[in-house]
Amino acid sequence: MDRLVLRPAAYSDLPAVERIAGASPVGVTSLPRSRDKLFDKIASSQASLAADVSGCGEESYFFVLEREHDREVVGTAAIVASAGFSEPFYNYRNETVTHASRELGVHHRVHVLTLCHDLTGATLLTSFVLDPAYKHGDYPDLLSRARMLFIAAHRQRFADHVVSEMLGLCDDDGHAPFWDSVGRHFFGIDYPLAEFYCGVKGRSFIAELLPQHPIYVPLLPREAQEAIGQIHPFSRLPCEILLREGFETERYVDIFDAGAVVQARTEEIRTVATHARATVVGHPPGADGTRYLVANLDLPGFRAILTDAAFDSERGEVWLAEADLKSLNVTAGGSVVLAPL
């Protein structure tokens, strides 16, 4: 089994990140097909890791999943400390309105979508892309959940809520049923171009063009109605991981393709709630080996792995194999954070 390590992206990773972005489907705006924007993403992450931060703000953290023996990058994932820090973070909120007439004896509850920025300020998980060869076993958990371990280890840098947007339904030609029925009428551009603008220009144009009034769902074509809250096959795996972590859906959807938006209170996320800090010891502390996510506490040198570790929760001690210590760049007497797989 290949040993994979999650670490912060470096400038030398740019060609690999470009390759991964180019292979991603339309709609993954957090990995735009723009070399300059991807470079900026790495630069922002490097600056955030170097910053002395006491609260969540404009910081972002971009990670790559590296195959250790040949340093090949096989995945990406990111965290935005505060979504919409520089501009509102827009979504549609699912709501029900009641239309009634006592005189006619009519009482209807109607599904509407209301443009909002309720989730502005929440920590945002983005950019989960994994080489298909590693979408089996525990590798996807390492790529996704190591971010939660990073949040747990550096809690003051993140908000009290965490959200993530799932890619909605669209075909290989870039046709999205919801966009074609709603957004296209106000923007006059197709779905791929709208998502590209969002990735490279930001979301400020949304408020300028999207209608501020509720959208009555029953007035939409059936295909568009059925797309609301649905998830593209590309996003099913990361969504399943987040749902197991305690994230919930149904309340909000994406403004472009109506894909589900999942959310959770930070302290209730399984990895955050079950994580522990431990001191590395040079001999097994007497506990049975269990599969853990383990990470060091170094911000710019952050490393996370999956391994079998012997952890004594009462003593706060953990024993790791020599290969694990090397991957994490820690030694006996050092500190790590870990959470059961």
Per residue in 52-76, pLDDT tens?
988 888 999 999 999 999 999 999 9
Quote the mean pLDDT of the chain.
91
Token pair 């959470």 in the structure block, residue? 339
Report the alpha-carbon distance of residue 144 to residue 242 in Å, rounded. 8
304 shares a domain with 234: no
At a CB cut-off of 8 Å and minimum separation 6, what does 213 contact?
A: none
Q: Of 69, 108, 185, 232, which one is the catalytic site residue?
A: 232
184 shares a domain with 217: yes
Q: Which of 248, 271, 294 is the last residue of a domain?
A: 271
Give residue-wise pLDDT tens across range 189-233. Answer: 887 777 777 766 666 666 677 788 899 999 999 999 999 999 999
179 shares a domain with 145: yes
Domain of 334, in residue numbers: 275-340
pLDDT > 70: what percent of the chain?
95
Report the alpha-carbon distance of residue 73 to residue 131 in Å, rounded. 9
178 shares a domain with 61: yes
The question of whether 232 is a catalytic residue gets the answer yes
For the entire predicted model, the pTM comes to 0.92
180 shares a domain with 246: yes
